[in-house]
Chain A
Amino acid sequence: MTKEYKTITEISGPLIFVEKTEPVGYNELVEIRTGGELKRGQVLDTSDEIVVIQVFEGTGGLSKESAVSFTGDVIKMPLSPGIVGRVLSGSGRPRDGGPEIVPEVLRDIAGAAINPASREKPRAFIQTGISTIDGTNTLVRGQKLPIFSGAGLPHNDVALQIARQAKALGEAESFAVIFCAMGITNEEAQHFLADFERTGALERAVVFLNLADDPAVERILTPRLGLTTAEYLAFDLDMHVLIIYTDMTNYCESLRQMGAAREEVPGRRGYPGYMYTDLAIQYERAGIIRGKKGSITQFPILTMPGDDITHPIPDLSGYITEGQIIISRELHRKGIYPPVDIRPSLSRLMNSGIGKGHTREDHRAVSDQLYAYYAEGNDLRGLAAIVGKEALSERDKLVLEFADKFEKRFVNQGRDEDRSIFDTLQIGWDLLADLPEAMLTRIDDKYIKAYHPKYAASAAKK
């Protein structure tokens, strides 16, 4: 029986201060009982005189009479294979009416860093069926590729489509999906769950739901629980795990709220100075370990406040993640789905997952050529707006038309349209074929001879 203390001296926002305790460990799990209700918290600061505790379920209902007991251990997540298919709360309690998880193992949710020397280089191509990702910003297993979006944009649909369609080329095996919702609305959560149920994905999913009206502090726990589960599924049970968490912006707001409650010296825009490290600890729990079969691929979604990519949250995320997929308001307004703007989007691990043996030998060249003319075409739009299309040179007119067609045929696709990488490359070639061959400066002659629609027919005959 652990000792109970009734020595709370101060309750302030999500924090409680307890004095005259036995020595308490930093980060230790704390249980607080008040009128039959059990709340959980974590030690943030410990000294002989006073212990500061953040309470995950909120401090509502707590008083100086509440009993505090220290468990002597850090927070651990109960895990067993039965966790797959469950819907849990943001703090890991059943939310689907099912029983508590009977643990086979208990894992520290803080998560130790993977030894960089034990990591395997990610290079297995994942086909998402979305051309703007597969063709020009290719995702590989073990990557962390966030979706940077804005309020009111269809990032959730994109994430769902990825979760539905993601597969490794030539393997029937599909991904286990872990979905962490942090501070999203009930309606959005319903949308996700309905889609999981419709497609049968729930059977291979674990869902953590912290909704907008759940305590903000709990959000700090949610991704840690999700990632601990992911590590268990990937490295104990040999599964390929895709983890989607939405919305990282809400998570960072919670960090800021906690920082303010602790009266810390604030950093940029009031976010705590350690936000970079904190985000890194979450994002870096993606990857592959040498000699293990499973992998963790992350898809964090974050909405950029005011569509501002220089805001601390997208900015710091971009430094840790391996690229980003940018959802564009402009494309969305044009009615293009998925409205992915490929120009600022990037997949840093693309090169290791494409080409001969992964996708197709001409992939890099086709992608570069598409990028180059789409970027140029976009610049020309500005010029055409000033001088009129007629004043452009013939070459420029072709490039301008290319950019329009690129958006309509390559970027645009159906919400259920699952394009193979070869379909995607074919669309790319069809678009490039409208340009004179001499303009294809980034593509090696041998690829032009092999894949250009003009030659492909005769090549096929041979």
Chain B
Amino acid sequence: MEVGKVKRVAGPLVQAVGLKSSMYDLVLVGEEGLMSEVIGISGNKHIIQVYEDTGGVRPGEPVKETGAPLVAQLGPGILTQIYDGIQRPLPKLAEMSGDFISRGLFVDGIDHKKKWEFKPVVKKGDVVKPGQAIGEVQEQLLIKHKIMVPPKMKGGAIKEIYSGNFNVDETVAVLEDGSKITMVQKWPVRQARPVAEKLAPTIPLRTGQRVVDGFFSLAKGGTAAIPGGFGTGKTVMQQTLSKWADVDIVIYVGCGERGNEMADLLHEFPELQDPRTGRPLMERSIVYANTSNMPVAAREASIYTGMTTAEYYRDMGYDCLMTADSTSRWAEAMREMGSRLEEMPGEEGYPAYLGARLADFYERAGRAEVLNGGQGSVSIVGAVSPAGGDFTEPVTQNTLRMVKVFWALDSKLTQRRHFPSINWLDSYSLYDQTLEPWFVENVSPDWNKNKRRAMAILQENAELEEIVMLVGSDALPEDQQITLEVARMIINFWLAQSAFHPVDTFAPYKKQFDLLAAILKFRDYAFEAVQKGIPVAAITSVPSKDALAKVRLEAEYEPILAKVMAQMDSEFKALK
């Protein structure tokens, strides 16, 4: 191991001499061995960013090389973990240093002593390819962890393969060229893991949120952005998605987040039940928590560490959802590091490579045929928190160029306590067309038609509201007054959804569709009645309309909805 010397310390940046390390190699700085990464080489000097506080580090202290870049340890035991940005388990850190995180602690990302039962799925003599599964470990009750040939290994015929209990460092198989396979892979976090082929996004990612699934749906392997100034309900939205999305693995990267919010999440997550299996949600989750006051360099790394674990589970054929909260804090970390490096700043002080870095990150998402032969996906929901709610700022703009779905969270809706506060006029999903065949086949041929009808009503409503602001609603023609009422129903009965109500928090596709169809049915009745000259006040005060509002709160909604619709039918018939 080469040893260099610290030359200069200024905040999280250290210059050192006497090193042979390559770019992005991990080095250990100072007597305490602080984890750090080489981020620049200039003349005989290495420029190093330190993942921990550098207070007290002096020139002349040693810098040790590790000869490898920052890697994630991938193997059984990742699930249920709560990590910091560089894959150190936080509960372990608490055991070692108490309630406050001290420096120079080195902990493995997974337990290297724990024995796992390895069951081979190939036999001696079988020829295996890189990425192919050779065995399985029951990592959690419902999650099988596939042990795969590392992608960088050549593959070939199996010379030896064992069965039984092993820790992750023990050899479970030997290939004919002598390479040994263990249950742990070390993968550089800044490098995307290879797949056989990226696939088109033709399957929706179900979230149970009406405004998302019904209006602005995300595809499996797709990318979405949630922008929003502070106080727009972004975090609640992301947490709701983590709870309800129909994916196998949830990776939550709290990047520069609030400590109390992380505490809330860490407190709540283990108690959450998976709605599909009744098991704790934590059993299929990985949390990275790098709060805003933890070192900035680790914040920068956390996004990559999270992504690498997501890709690893995709390689096994799982659907993964990675939520990054927030990519703006990540970009801020880049800006901060760039400014310390005295790089020439680009727009608003962000480094010129901001766009490229964001693109690299979002491109790592996708549904894919994996090397193992199956299919898996990594979907990303990235939060951006634009400064002052200004969507023209560089992080938001660069993100919007990359992502296909945009859920425009709106603080005006939050102020009215309308949740999820996704603005139905400004949001969009570019998966609309590619997902239509799936909805036609699996829910209803009218899925997109009803969606378009509802959106048209909301669009007209927005235009009418401007007129109402000037002349008041009574001055509008009667059919337009009905449109206003129907829009109000779509907004309050359908788009609004309570994350805290046990039933309303999740709506299956069928229920979403039926409720919207019922509202549209009301519109048809109402227009018919207006044609017959029935006054608007009489139409809008039919009791079944109010009854319809409560249907969404019922789990067994179908008989109730049928009753309400029958009531509506007779009430409209009775109107004179």
Contact = CB atoms under 8 A, between A and B. Distances in A.
By DSSP majority rule, is chain A's interface helix, strand, loop, or mixed?
mixed
B474 A393 contact: yes
A387 B329 CA distance: 46
B260 A44 contact: no
Most buried by B among A28, A73, A265, A371: A265
Nearest to A74: B55
Given A47-B7, A289-B99, A24 B82 contact: no
Interface size class of B (residues with CB under 8 A): 35 or more
Interface stretch (A152-160, A170-178, A243-251, A268-276): A268-276
Q: Which 3 A-B pairs have the closest CB atoms?
A: A310-B388, A280-B292, A47-B8
Interface string A321-365: 111100000000000000000011010110110000000000010
Contacts of A267: 335, 339, 348-349
B293 A25 contact: no
B56 A27 contact: yes
A113 B55 contact: no
A2 interface: no
Given A268-B348, A442-B417, 9 more contacts: A28-B55, A114-B101, A115-B99, A116-B262, A121-B260, A265-B343, A284-B291, A319-B292, A344-B415
Contacts, number: 233
Among A48, A273, A286, which residue has the most Cβ atoms of chain B within 10 A?
Answer: A273
B40 interface: no
Given A267-B339, A273-B339, A309-B388, A25 B57 contact: yes
Which residue among A267, A323, A386 has the maximum number of chain B CB atoms within 10 Å of its CB?
A267
A391 B8 CA distance: 73
B55 A119 contact: no
Given A48-B59, A268-B348, A276-B332, A382 B93 contact: no
Given A118-B99, A265-B345, A277-B292, A372 B416 contact: yes
B451 interface: no
Contacts of B94: 115, 117-118
Interface residues of A, number: 86
Interface of A: 23-28, 44-48, 73-74, 108, 110-122, 142-144, 235, 264-268, 272-274, 276-277, 280-281, 283-287, 289-290, 292, 309-312, 315, 318-324, 343-344, 346, 348-349, 351-352, 364, 368, 371-372, 375-376, 382-383, 386-387, 391-393, 396, 441-442
A289 B338 CA distance: 34
Nearest to A281: B293
Nearest to B8: A47
A114 B100 contact: yes
B349 A285 contact: no
Interface in B39-95: 53-61, 82, 90-91, 93-94
Contacts of A112: 53, 100-102
A460 B136 CA distance: 64
A8 B256 CA distance: 39
Contacts of B55: 25-28, 74, 108, 110
Nearest to B388: A310
Contacts of A315: 230, 387-388
B261 A284 contact: no
Contacts of B445: none
Interface string B387-419: 111100000000000000000000100111100
Nearest to A46: B9
A267 B32 CA distance: 32
Contacts of A372: 416-417
Interface string B539-552: 00000000001000
A116 B88 CA distance: 12
A346 B9 contact: no
Given A26-B56, A320-B258, A310 B387 contact: yes
Contacts of A392: 472
Tell which of A26, A112, A391 has the most Cβ of chain B within 10 Å. A26
A448 B10 CA distance: 61
Contacts of A387: 470-472
B26 to A, nearest CB: 20
B292 A320 contact: yes
Contacts of B535: none
B493 to A, nearest CB: 10
Given A310-B390, A368-B417, A322 B54 contact: no
B259 A284 contact: yes
Contacts of B229: 318
A25 B8 CA distance: 10
A325 to B, nearest CB: 12
Given A142-B260, A368-B417, A318 B230 contact: yes
A121 B9 contact: no
Interface in B94-132: 94, 97-102
Interface in B235-255: 235, 254
B416 A48 contact: no
A267 B58 CA distance: 28
Given A112-B100, A280-B293, A315-B387, A117 B56 contact: no
Interface stretch (B162-170, B191-199, B263-271, B554-562): B263-271
A346 B231 contact: yes
Interface in B137-190: none
B372 interface: no
Nearest to A51: B59
A123 to B, nearest CB: 9
Contacts of B471: 387, 391
Contact of B415 (A276, A284, A375): A375
Contact of B230 (A119, A264, A319, A391): A319
Given A284-B293, A320-B292, A26 B500 contact: no
Interface string B463-502: 0000011111110000000000000000010000000100
Given A116-B291, A318-B231, A287 B260 contact: yes
Nearest to B229: A318
B436 interface: no
Given A120-B263, A371-B416, A113 B469 contact: no
13 contacts: A26-B9, A45-B8, A47-B7, A112-B102, A117-B90, A117-B266, A118-B98, A121-B260, A143-B260, A274-B11, A287-B260, A321-B258, A348-B231
Contacts of B379: none
A129 B254 CA distance: 34
B336 interface: yes
A119 B58 contact: no
Contacts of A375: 415-416
B48 to A, nearest CB: 13
B83 to A, nearest CB: 10
Max chain B C-beta neighbours (<10 A), residue from A117, A290, A346 = A117
Residue among B11, B264, B268, B343 with max Cβ neighbours from chain A (10 Å)? B264
Nearest to B61: A23
Contacts of B268: 121
B296 interface: yes
Given A115-B100, A274-B296, A368-B417, A45 B10 contact: yes
B264 A382 contact: no
Contact of A117 (B91, B235, B296): B91
B294 interface: yes
Contacts of B267: 120-121
A24 B59 contact: yes
Given A46-B8, A119-B259, A280-B256, A28 B416 contact: no
Contacts of B260: 119, 121-122, 142-144, 286-287, 322, 349
Interface in B263-305: 263-264, 266-268, 289, 291-294, 296
Contacts of A292: 99
B429 to A, nearest CB: 27
Contacts of A44: 10
Contacts of B348: 267-268
A114 B349 contact: no
B15 interface: yes
Contacts of A309: 388
